[in-house]
Chains A and B, each alone.
Chain A
Amino acid sequence: MIVNDFFMLMKQELMIFVIIFILLFIKIGKDRSAENLLYFINALLLINVISGFILPSEGMIFSDMFKTNSLIMLEKNILNIGTLIISMQSYSWLKNHKHMIEFYILLLSTLMGMFFMISSGNVLMFYLGLELSTIPLAAIANFDLDKRKSSEAAFKFIISSAFSSGLLLFGISLIYGTTGSLTFSEIGQHITSNPLQIFAFVLLLAGFSFKISVVPFHLWTADVYEGAPIAVTSYLSVISKGAVLFVFVSVLYTVFKPITEIWYNMLFLLSIVTILIGNLFAIRQENFKRFLAFSSIAQVGFILVGITGSSQMGSASVIYFVLIYIFSNLGAFGVVSIVSALTGKENISDYKAFYKTNPMLSWVLTIALFSLAGVPPTAGFFGKFFLLMAGAAKGNYILITIAALNMIISFYYYLRVVKAIFMDENNQPIEKLHVPILPKLALLICVIGIVCIGLMSGVYEYIYSLSTGF
């Protein structure tokens, strides 16, 4: 029975484990052509995604250290889908990379770390998962081996991660000291507005803020995003952020429920600052990756607005938004990664008159940017709308007014890119690109996701039925 439980509950982790092993065997085996291998690996990841949806189960094992339920499985599936899309998009880049298999092994290790983190029922387990998800990520941030910027990015990332882990650990130790427990459910019962506990909470919040790059803990983001290979950047911006957000919401809504008023005010301030700074800096960016870095900071600010609602709607909207954000951001990153891999151009000004030579890619990029900006009928509109509605549920109209007005700023910089693509003149536009089949497929998935997830209300209703709030 226990063995059965083990296999059922940890199904998704085990699946990734198996894939990592297969990759290890391939690595020690004889050389194969990189292209076939990539198709094979993507097929494995596809199986991984599909297998995540079958046989949902619920329960806890390892003396409540590891828990899972339908919501957690859904969150893991969302991350799986994102990883598959990223893997397909990096085809052109990985095809010529000599350490392709190691890349996948490290990537999947971090994914597994995130799974453990999401499933954790215990602070130690959470920390373990977090570290497992962070350290390999620093290694693959350095995967453009001959670029100095890449190793600089990796170095910045590992240092800031270590710092935030330190803050988290300090917070955890104080929590342990004041509550006498490491289990989330027990900690929740012992949280009062004791100043030491609030201090501990602030430390934890700072640690989380580092991971999801909330202002003022965002300074590493742009540099790391710019330096790291695009596959890693997109992974950092959607998957890694999404996983931490999932945990963040559940920790706030369950463990720190007794001090809601305190964290509500903190999140209120943080969200305003985050949206504003993210937006204002995004306006000035010339490099596409830095641009997306700041835009992703602003997006996190919007997510925080949704979290402040602390209702079922809040939790559902955050998960829903992350799902949409994965498709929209990866749609944008997908085009950028194709262009970067085939031409090496990464500046927004290079995209001038992009529409004349690559109409299809332009439309994909435009749709993705519109979704990020929150323009209907793309899914981003629904995501933002529900996030802000969740924020307004507590009657905090000041917050959503500020957020709604900030949408205008964000609108400006997304439209600036659209303007470059469609309206500007360029003597040397990016030539007509031949896009391989896998990245094409990935972009198609993104566009379908962007168009369908919003209009089809079933997705939101499903997530809503699984979520809890108070």
Chain B
Amino acid sequence: MNLSLLIILPFITAIVILFCNGLKQVRTVALIGSAVQLIMAIMLLIQYWNERAIGNISQMVFEYSCVWFAPLNINFHIGVDGISVAMILLTAFVVIAGVLVSWTMETLNKEFFFLLIFLSMGAYGFFISLDLFTLFFFLEVAVIPKFLLIGIWGSGKKEYSAMKLALMLMGGSALVFVGLSGLYFNTNINGTHSFDVMQISKMHIPLEAQLLFFPFAFVGFGIFTALFPFHTWVPDGHSSAPTAASMFLAGISMKLGGYGCLRVATYLMPDAAHAYSWVIILLATIAIIYGAFATMMQTDLKYINAYSSVSHCGFVLLGIGMLTQTSITGAVLQMVSHGLMTALFFAAIGMIYSRTHTRMVEQLGGLLKVIPFISSVFVIAGLCSLGLPGFSGFVAEMTVFMGSWQNPDTMYRTATILACASIVVTAVYILRAAGKTVMGPITDEHYFHLTDATWNEKLAAIILITGIVAIGVAPFWLNDLVTPGTEQIMQQLAQAISLK
């Protein structure tokens, strides 16, 4: 399969949108474009399985490389392994759901869908890149649309949030840049330097360089995935963004960071990953617990989900920091699971808000009686968030905990126990919010006239729930998909230990 289609297709869709007139045309084109994206992502999964089934054991499949900037040895090098395929699937699911929930976007709809699709192009490009320059390029491509999406179509203190998000993410990519350039100049292939992930992974970057540049790369990507104490953009950004943008932000763009931490920082600098793993664990544990307790105090549904995202993304970083096969697989599962779950959550909140015009928990109540479908979606998202078996959240978090426990160090085990304990807090805030919102008496007489979900909202929710349940009920396929990729990372880490 030609992977560059994943970049070309959103690009063409975005360009066609620019030439459309009126909401109907625009959203039709966007829907067709994102549907084709989804079909392509599923085809990619099937073809990937086929490749593996016929015995292709190369680390990356569907590789393609062409020279981009010859003097600097920059190539446009793309390829996927199981981890990338999982991420691409996640992106495709969230994009189509995002388009569907924005179906009745009133103002500046052409620009809105253009930016959404453009953002998805950045995400796809990021996940398939095997060249650090291309990777960085697409990482930044995905930042600016967020600024505009939040600033123009957002609500509340949208300008502040948009600016905060853009600057913090830009700060993250500035740090990533330093890390990448440090990697680049410490490679040496016959006198030239290289940005190629595969090439860098085969050579041993000097330990001092790793220790120097790992923090840059990890913290840089970490900002994208709400690494404590750089998580402050998450609540503001998510809560001010329009529904689809929140879904993209939490569902896709926070995953860029997790994927980068894994693929660039940990994979390419394994020695430093060992050396700094205690810092990662510490910060991740703080993020998990702090995020969970901060969520308890929130009264706005979007803030609840945003702070719980901080907590849940802490699991991703915890899994990466534990450096065991199972925990890293768990981190990837958690990325996919959190992406789908939080997108569903934001979609449900968006649907509720568009009808009741409030997101405050205390003003809502009894919605299950008037809008049963949306309320059920909301409850499903909540239950997935608290890790109910049968949904993806349970599988992912369980895997992370199992993997973490494999690390015999006392401090790591303490961190694991603390992180496990935070599940209880999660249950408290989710059940409280869900109970108050959808159960009990109806708090406002206007709510009696609310209409339930329209076809597009139903479709969006069903698509996301399908993903969540598919992982929750039968986690093996995703596990098997991801494992070869994590095995490679483990090999890299094992070599680092033996070199010591």
Q: At the interface with chain B, which of A26-34, A92-100, A456-464?
A: A456-464
- Is B433's CB within 8 Å of the partner chain A? no
Which A residues are CB-close (under 8 A) to B141? 376-377
Contact residue among B72, B138, B148, B166 (Cβ-Cβ distance under 8 Å from A422) = B148
User: Which of B82-90, B173-181, B338-346, B469-477 has 4 or more CB atoms under 8 Å from chain A?
Assistant: B173-181
**Complexed CA–CA distance, A376 and B170 (Å):** 12
Given the complex of chains A and B, what is the CA–CA distance between A115 and B291 in angstroms? 62
**Which residues of chain A come closer than 8 Å to B72, judged between CB atoms?**
313, 386, 389
Q: Which residues of chain B from 178 to 202 have any CB-CB distance to chain A below 8 Å in the complex?
A: 178, 181-182, 184-185
Nearest opposing residue in chain B for A456, CB measure: B68
Contact A404 B71 (CB under 8 A): no
Contact across chains for A388 and B70 when beta carbons are under 8 A apart: no
| A448 in contact (CB, < 8 A) | no
A400–B163 alpha-carbon span in the complex (Å): 24
B178–A400 contact, CB under 8 A?
Answer: yes
Q: Which residue of B lies closest to A394 (CB)?
A: B185
Check: B113 CB closer than 8 A to any chain A CB.
no
Least Cβ–Cβ distance between A224 and chain B, in angstroms: 31
Report if A397 contacts B (CB, 8 A): yes
Task: Tell me the bound Cα distance from A464 to B74 in angstroms.
Answer: 14
Contact A376 B137 (CB under 8 A): yes
B162 at the interface (CB under 8 A from A): yes
Known: A412-B167, A419-B163. A395 touches B178 (CB 8 A): no
A interface secondary structure, majority: helix
User: Do residues A313 and B159 form an inter-chain contact, with CB atoms below 8 A?
Assistant: no
Once the chains bind, are A375 and B69 in contact (CB under 8 Å)?
no
Q: Nearest Cβ distance between residue A365 and chain B, in whole angstroms? A: 14
Known contacts A376-B137, A423-B152, A423-B159; is A405 also within 8 Å of B174 by CB?
A: yes
Q: How far is the CB of B370 from chain A (nearest CB, A)?
A: 35
> For the complex, is B63 an interface residue (Cβ under 8 Å from A)?
no
Instruction: Enumerate B155-171 residues with CB–CB distance to A below 8 Å.
Output: 158-159, 162-163, 166-167, 170-171
Residue contact B170 to A408, C-beta cutoff 8 Å: yes
Contact B163 A408 (CB under 8 A): no
Question: Across the interface, which residues of B come within 8 angstroms of A404, CB to CB?
Answer: 174-175, 177-178
A462 shortest CB reach to chain B, Å: 10
Residues of chain A contacted by B68 (CB below 8 angstroms) = 457
Considering only residues 433-470 of chain A, those with a C-beta below 8 Å from chain B are 457, 460-461, 464-465
Partner of B70, one of A377, A411, A457: A457
- Report Cα–Cα, A125/B67, bound state, in Å: 42
On whether the beta carbons of A408 and B171 are closer than 8 Å, the reply is yes
Q: B181 touching A419 by the CB < 8 A rule? A: no
Q: Quick one: which of B137, B138, B162, B170 contacts A411, CB cutoff 8 A? A: B170
A451 CB to nearest chain B CB (Å): 12
User: Which residues in A have their C-beta under 8 angstroms from that of B136?
Assistant: 385
Chain B contacts with A in 124-155, Cβ cutoff 8 A: 133, 136-138, 140-141, 143-144, 147-148, 151-152
A341 interface residue per 8 A CB criterion: no
Complex Cα spacing A392 to B182, Å = 8
Interface hits, A365-393 → B, CB 8 Å: 370, 375-377, 381, 385-386, 388-389, 392-393
| Given A423-B151, A423-B152, A370 contacting B144 (CB threshold 8 A) | yes
Whether A415 pairs with B140 at a CB distance below 8 angstroms is no
* B212 at the binding interface (Cβ < 8 Å): yes
Any B CB within 8 A of the CB of A316: yes
The answer to whether residues A415 and B171 also contact, given A377-B137, A388-B181 and a CB cut-off of 8 A, is no
What are the residues of chain A within 8 A of B137 when measuring CB–CB? 376-377, 381
Chain A nearest CB from B13 CB (Å) reads 16
**How far is it, in angstroms, between the C-alpha of A312 and the C-alpha of B185 when the chains are bound?**
15
Cα–Cα, bound, A377→B147 (Å): 15
| C-alpha spacing A392/B212, complex, angstroms | 14
Q: A118 to B301, alpha carbons, bound, how many Å? A: 63
Specify which of A312, A381, A392, A423 is in contact with B158 (CB 8 Å cutoff): A423
A343 part of interface (Cβ distance < 8 Å): no
Q: Which residue of B has the minimal Cβ distance to A395? A: B185
In angstroms, Cα B74 to Cα A460, docked, is 12
> Please, which residue of chain A has its CB at the minimum distance from the CB of B166?
A415
Taking CB atoms, residues of chain B closer than 8 Å to A395 are 185
A401 is an interface residue with CB less than 8 A from chain B? yes
Which chain B positions have C-beta within 8 A of A464? 71
Q: Is there an interface contact between B159 and A408, defined as CB atoms closer than 8 Å? A: no
Greatest chain B CB density within 10 A among A385, A412, A464 is at A385
**Which of B72, B137, B140, B184 is the most central at the interface, judged by chain A CB atoms within 10 Å of its CB?**
B72
Q: Closest A-chain residue to B185, C-beta based?
A: A392
Q: Please determine whether B69 and A392 come into contact, CB atoms closer than 8 angstroms.
A: no
Q: Give the distance to chain B from A342, nearest Cβ to Cβ, in Å.
A: 25
Q: With an 8 A cutoff between CB atoms, is A407 at the interface?
A: yes
Q: B212 — nearest CB in chain A belongs to which residue?
A: A397
Distance A415 CA – B147 CA, assembled complex (angstroms): 9
**A381 to B144 Cα, complex, angstroms:** 13
A308 to chain B, nearest CB (A): 14
Bound CA span A419–B157, Å: 13
> With contacts A377-B137, A419-B151, A422-B148 known, is A392 near B181, CB below 8 A?
yes
* Contact sample, A vs B, 15 pairs, CB 8 Å cutoff: A376-B138, A376-B141, A381-B137, A385-B136, A392-B184, A395-B185, A397-B212, A400-B177, A408-B174, A419-B159, A422-B148, A457-B69, A460-B71, A461-B69, A464-B71
Q: Which residues of B pack against A, CB within 8 Å?
A: 67-72, 74, 133, 136-138, 140-141, 143-144, 147-148, 151-152, 158-159, 162-163, 166-167, 170-171, 174-175, 177-178, 181-182, 184-185, 212, 216
Given contacts A418-B148, A461-B69, 12 further A-B contacts (CB under 8 A): A313-B72, A316-B71, A386-B72, A397-B178, A397-B181, A404-B178, A408-B171, A415-B147, A418-B147, A422-B151, A423-B151, A424-B159
9 A-B pairs with least C-beta separation? A404-B174, A464-B71, A392-B181, A423-B151, A457-B69, A376-B140, A408-B171, A411-B170, A376-B137
